[in-house]
Amino acid sequence: MRALLWRALCREPRQLVRICLWSVLEAAPAFLIGLAVARAIEDGFAAGRPEIGLVWLAALGAAWAVAAVAARQIVLAVAAVAEPFRDDLLAHVVGGAVRRAAAASGARQDSAAVTRAGLQVELARDAFAAVVTTVRGFAFTVLSVALGLLTLAPGAAALVLPPFAAGLVLFLASLPLLARRQRAFLLADERLAEAMTAMAGGLRDIVACGAEDRQSARMAAHVDDQASAARALARATAVRTAALGVGGWLPVVLVLAGTPWLLSGGAGAGVVVGALTYVAQSLAPALGGLVHGLGVSGVQLAATLERITAVPPSPPPPVRCRPASAEVRLHEVTFAYGRWSAPVVDGLSLCVPEGEHLAVVGPSGAGKSTLAAMISGLLRPDAGQVLIGGVPADQAEHAARVLVPQEAYVFRGTLRENLAYLLTPPDGRAEGDDRPDGAEPSQSELEAVADALGAADLVAAVGGYDARLDPGALSAGQRQLIALVRAYLSPARLVILDEATCHLDPAAEARVEHAFAARGGTLVVVAHRITSARRAGRILLMDGGRVQAGVHDELVRTASLYADLVGHWQSEPVS
Amino acid sequence: MLAGDRLVMHAVRRNAPWTAILAATAVGGAAAELALPYMAGRTVDAFVVADPAAVRWLAGCAAVVACVVLCESLGMWAGGVTGARAAARLRLGMLRHVLGVGPAVTRRFPEGELVTRAGLNAEEVARAPESVTGALALLVPTAGALVALTLIAPVLTLTLLAGIVLILIVLNTFLRATTTIAGGYQEAQGELAAGLVEALGGARTIAAAGTEDREVLRVLRPLPRLRLHGMRLWRANATAGVRAGLVVPLVEVAVLAVGGFMLAAGDLTVGELYAAARYAVLGAALSGALGPIGGLARARAAAGRMAEVLAVPRTRHGSRALPSGTGAMEFRDVTAAGLTVPRLVIPGGSLTAVVGRSGSGKSLLAALAARMADPDRGTVLLDGIPLPELTGPELRRAVGCAFERPVLVGDTLADAITLGRPTPDDAVLNGGPDGGPDGVLDAVTVAARADGFVRRLPHGYATRTMDAPLSGGERQRLGLARAFAQGERLLVLDDATSSLDTVTEREIGRALADGPGGRTRLVVAHRLATAAQADQVVWLEDGAVRGQGPHRELWRDPAYRAVFQGEEP
């Protein structure tokens, strides 16, 4: 977290210098204001020489004008530091989210959490800019006022600066308490939001169980916790405000009380007014700014940065190599999702020789997608081995196999970019190729494949290969078809379709599966419709750790579940 | 008065004492701040002429300063407390209402929307008192400064007024400028977020292709545009800041210059000139008054959004109890959202399977039977009593539901399983240590075949729900156990065994049939075996009952067989 801040501050030393130089000009009125008012009165208006007074006031006005321009430059310079900081944070959040999602592929992703993180990045940027601006402003203003007071009347400085320093110390001392309370509040607020989200998500179940009253009591406890954290924060804020009062207002009283002493020291009434003006117009607002900058923005910055950067590092990617063939071999493979869960796949051994077309069927939750993920190398078995052409599946190069999951991935870009997605292997990119999506297939190749998979109408419907796609505007079936054409175009010799055709109608599904079967290489289809099984050379039936492989006619006779799935009902119980 | 405004008024009224303190500190603080320049000026003047009253003026100044500091601190505290209390009350009221309405509310307001309304919006409404007093605290010095300045010298007031007009003009141009430019920034932000959500949705594809790095670059592609628009926003801000930052000091300098000549002419004392300069600055504080007013507008808008949720009527329950019976169900002329059931009788203690293609209305039928939804017309009866006439607890004690994707509510697994029990009585539930023999908890988990994996967990039934790693099938079994623990007469299982293997499913079915009392079971299912075992099958198609009777008889119809064979019609 510190490193992130430090890098943001030090990356642009030129901007820092720019900020400091303009700050000197911006602080000019803070130096001049009391002096100008005092002199304008003492030497000008009160002395019967208003032209002198006007000159001083004109000088003050000019200083303000310069300060306003300087303030603009400072905002821009701070922005030039804060914007790259925002970019850093966004890259951090996006990189973390994408890599985590890919590493936990299959697990449901909380996209709301990602949106929240995005919001926090904006908060962090604003807080960062606010902290830089106010701390800097405070330092320059205090310095200028101190110089101004010493120039005007050292005695007044003695009256103003000590209580001001006391207020500052009081505030800084209250800062840790404030930060703790703020943090406690944020946490309570977050727990409340989680509880409310859980309640909204479980509303059906709560009502079905008649547990409305019990739930309402639980929510009341969360709401109360959050409210009492808010009240505790309000108390700390009140203390902070009192510190502001001591530092900002006590000097006014002291200067007034010391007026006889200042007057007896030869100062005029104008000097007293000048000193008061310093306090009221420069010192108090600067302290107020610092209190807000550190007390609100600073605490917020720390809290949000902590949240954003609290991301565990991802393990290094394995070294990948090229399998000798597209044969899939499973040996005594076992996989369970939790340490205490029953295994989803239990001691499965299977060989799919290169060129075979295997269909995997079974009820939902039987482990079909888990099997697909292990063959693709996305999941590593707890025990046993999954080999592609002799290479462990999670170490086989990406281009050796292609997985098309149920939720087709289509991104904003042209149709051509989407289709060519798998043509550039991520592990070895061609030199000098800085296009994100790499090589492109020839037009005739594209057309032939689109035709084979029945996607020609889709291509026409979206407006050709160079039309930009809006994934949200496509139907689920259209997205699946795009993902299927993309997979067909890839160089992979092993294709795994994990319910990849579930949004297509049966005829389109048949066309796709026939095309993939004719493509050559090994084809593993996790079947959504049982009709997929009939097209396969061999069928793997999965049912709660029990697995049976065979051809259709054989399974209909021997496996009651399979008979059940294909709608062959035997009136006699099978068990 | 709009419902939203009533909500705001209510929030203010319910918090009367704290709101009063807030208002008092705001007005008191503002008044003291207003008095200070005059009194400070008089103090200086009195000291200059060695007037003995000077000490009294000084004491007055000290008292006023103490008042300012006290009011500010107290106001901060009162503001925080009012906000926290009002937010808590509004929020809890809304959450209770949502619970009273039931799942029907999520049809109009998605989950995230409900959370926003009960969370952020409640917070915004609760800030209404602070916004009102905040505006007041800024209006008092502004108006007061004008009066004070006029008392000192009317010419100075004219000078100040000219300045304030200038400030308002500046602010107007500023506000218009930001809203137009912010659009481009938000667009780039939206594009980035959309790209990220897309990439997360395609996580499996990305992981399999190994293109994580490429995807990060793609999602971040709008960054340069974001920065461009961001810098434009900063520039607009900075430019408006120049204008606003100039006006206040220039007003002051102008007042000082005009006042200086009056001082030279002997019409003003030095102290009065100081006071006048301070009043000029205070008067210019009007620029900040727009913030709290904006807050009030936000509070009203937020209150409107909360009122929309509160306007959804709660589910009403009756006052009757069930007569003794076996859990017989009857649908009479029921119509609901595309489902029509003229007459359907489900004998007590029987197993009824509901089959049909997806979208045929199976889940709706199940929801109507369990009163998870009410029909538009017609009546659903349990043992002869229309469901809405039952008291809430009576209804839920009689009917248990299990779902395809149950959500487990409760801190521990034991809590989650016994959620439907009227009172969580440890002795009844557990029988002995760790849900030992004869406990309800034990009985239902055994019946749902959930006892095995729960026992394997390190803390058994005491495992925290959020820490328990559960597969879809395990979750379904806990959902079944929960329903078994609850429904004394009727169990409605909506695809609740879809993730179970066939053996487990059959075991659970048998445990249910053999259980004491033989509860009525209404089972929505896709599997042939379930339909074959049922006493009767209700076959739905396009929101109507296409057939009803034993599976054996329906099976003769090829269209019925097609339901199970996965072919499109």
Question: Which tens digit of pLDDT belongs to each residue from B42-69?
Answer: 999 999 998 899 999 999 999 999 999 9
| Cβ proximity of B483 and B475 under 8 Å | no
Question: Which tens digit of pLDDT belongs to each residue from A190-216?
Answer: 889 889 988 988 999 999 999 999 999
Q: B1-140+288-315 and B329-564: same fold? A: no
The reply to whether CATH 1.20.1560.10 applies to domain B1-140+288-315 is yes
- Domain assignments of chain B as residue spans, ordered by start: 1-140+288-315, 154-267, 329-564
Q: Is the pLDDT of residue B515 over 70?
A: no
How does the average pLDDT of chain B come out, rounded? 85
Phi, psi of A206 (to 5 degrees): -65, -45
H-helix segments, B350-448: 362-369, 392-398, 413-417, 426-430, 440-447
| Cβ proximity of A134 and A292 under 8 Å | yes
Question: Residue A94 is which amino acid?
Answer: V
The pLDDT of residue A529: 78
Residue of A nearest to B423 (CA): A214
The pLDDT of residue A419: 93
Where residue B9 falls among pLDDT bands split at 50, 70, 90?
A: confident
Interface of B with A in 141-200 (CB under 8 A): 189, 191-200
The reply to whether CATH 3.40.50.2300 applies to domain A2-309 is no
Q: Find the largest Cα–Cα distance for chain A.
A: 120
The pLDDT of residue B423: 65
Mean pLDDT of all residues in B276-295: 72
Where residue B292 falls among pLDDT bands split at 50, 70, 90?
A: low
Where residue B174 falls among pLDDT bands split at 50, 70, 90?
A: low
Where residue B429 falls among pLDDT bands split at 50, 70, 90?
A: low
Q: Is B272 on the interface with A (CB under 8 A)?
A: no
| Cβ proximity of B375 and B388 under 8 Å | no
Residue of B nearest to A497 (CA): B205
Phi, psi of A319 (to 5 degrees): -80, 130
Chain B hits for A84, CB-CB cut-off 8 Å, are 227
Residue of A nearest to B566 (CA): A529
Residue of B nearest to A196 (CA): B115
Residue of B187 and B434 predicted with greater confidence: B187
Q: Please state the CATH superfamily assignment of the domain spanning residues B329-564 in this structure.
A: P-loop containing nucleotide triphosphate hydrolases (3.40.50.300)
Q: Is B243 exposed, middle or buried (0-12, 13-18, 19+ CB in 10 A)?
A: middle
The pLDDT of residue B437: 45
Q: Is the pLDDT of residue B303 over 50?
A: yes
Mutate to test the interface with A, among B256, B316, B368, B395 (most CBs of A within 10 A): B256
Does the beta-carbon distance from B260 to A50 stay under 8 Å? yes
To the nearest whole Å, the CA of A532 is away from the closest chain B CA by: 10
Contacts of A306 (CB under 8 A, 6+ apart): A1
Q: Which of A103-112, A408-417, B416-425, B483-492 has the lowest mean pLDDT?
A: A103-112
**A328-425+437-565 CATH fold:** Rossmann fold (3.40.50)
Fill in the DSSP letter of residue A324: S
Interface of B with A in 338-397 (CB under 8 A): 370, 372, 392-393, 395-397
Where residue A318 falls among pLDDT bands split at 50, 70, 90?
A: confident
Residue of A nearest to B43 (CA): A256
Q: Which among A215, A269, A363 has the least Cβ separation from residue B409?
A: A215
For A51, A349, A551, B279, the CA distances from A546, given in Å and listed in that order, are 103, 12, 17, 86
Q: Is the pLDDT of residue A363 over 80?
A: no
Q: Is the pLDDT of residue B335 over 50?
A: yes
Residue of A9 and B95 predicted with greater confidence: B95
Question: Which tens digit of pLDDT belongs to each residue from B65-86?
Answer: 999 999 989 998 998 998 999 9
Contact pairs from chain A to chain B, CB under 8 Å: 487
Q: Which of A462-476, B169-183, B513-527 has the highest mean pLDDT?
A: A462-476
The Cα A186–Cα A233 span in angstroms is 10
The Cα A272–Cα A260 span in angstroms is 10
- Domain assignments of chain A as residue spans, ordered by start: 2-309, 328-425+437-565
Mean pLDDT of all residues in A166-177: 91
Q: Above pLDDT 90, what percent of chain A?
A: 51
Q: Is B245 on the interface with A (CB under 8 A)?
A: yes
Residue of B429 and B423 predicted with greater confidence: B423
The pLDDT of residue B287: 54
Chain B hits for A50, CB-CB cut-off 8 Å, are 260-261, 264
Where residue B508 falls among pLDDT bands split at 50, 70, 90?
A: confident
Where residue A574 falls among pLDDT bands split at 50, 70, 90?
A: very low
Residue of B116 and A514 predicted with greater confidence: A514
The Cα A166–Cα A177 span in angstroms is 18
Where residue A235 falls among pLDDT bands split at 50, 70, 90?
A: very high
Q: Is the pLDDT of residue B117 over 90?
A: no
Complex ipTM, two decimals?
A: 0.84
Q: A2-309 and A328-425+437-565: same fold? A: no
Q: Which of A255-269, A351-365, B181-195, B402-416 has the lowest mean pLDDT?
A: B181-195
| Cβ proximity of B181 and B229 under 8 Å | yes
Mean pLDDT of all residues in B330-342: 92
To the nearest whole Å, the CA of A79 is away from the closest chain B CA by: 7
Where residue B173 falls among pLDDT bands split at 50, 70, 90?
A: low
Q: Which of A449-458, B425-434, B508-517 has the lowest mean pLDDT?
A: B425-434
Question: Which tens digit of pLDDT belongs to each residue from A75-101?
Answer: 999 999 999 999 999 888 888 888 888
